[in-house]
Amino acid sequence: MKEKTWFKDLMRLDEFEMWTGKPEPGKLLSKEDAYLIPFSVVWAGFAIFWTIGAIVASGSAGVALYGMVFVAIGLYMSIGRLIVKAYKNSNTFYVITNQRIIINESNRIRSVERSHLPDFSTELFPDGTGNIYFASGTETSGYSRKPSDQTAFTLRHIKDVDSVSQLISKESIL
């Protein structure tokens, strides 16, 4: 997929691109990680300690398999989720047009009409990147343009978040 042209086939005749972007690479941590990282390290450490102790005490392969499930969960929470987040970020693209916001997350395309945009808030990071959080609204999925219920969505770790936020705040250009 070409980063700058993937959305051209989705554009309407009277629609034009105002901004394109994607999450900044390397931006993987969020506020929740202040709790998730210590918890996941404790979980993984305990799971490894318990599994080794149980194997030594019983010598059973069944106990080893049982413990390995919890070790795998701990490893995913510690490291795996960051790898998944990096992959998702590398395959996420955003477009703001005069009519919609279009989000492509690993070829899952969502679209929200600018005339129906929900309230949003901006989180600014010291380096000028940030997140734009949208509360709720109406979206269309894929190529079908059928309205569907939408949970909150976010434009994550975008460059110059203030400018993008101001662009979204302006009334739609028709």
CB 163, CB 115: distance < 8 Å:
no
Please state the pTM of the whole predicted model: 0.72
Nearest to 107 by CA among 131, 90, 83: 90
Q: What is the mean pLDDT of residues 150-162?
A: 79
Q: What is the distance between the alpha carbons of residues 112 and 66, in angstroms, rounded to a whole number?
A: 45
Q: Where are the domains of the chain?
A: 8-21+94-169, 33-87
DSSP notation for 114-170: GGGPPPEEEEE-TTS-EEEEE--EEEEETTT--EEEE--EEEEEETTHHHHHHHHHS
Evaluate if residue 54 carries a pLDDT over 50: yes
Q: What is the distance between the alpha carbons of residues 66 and 48, in angstroms, rounded to a whole number?
A: 11
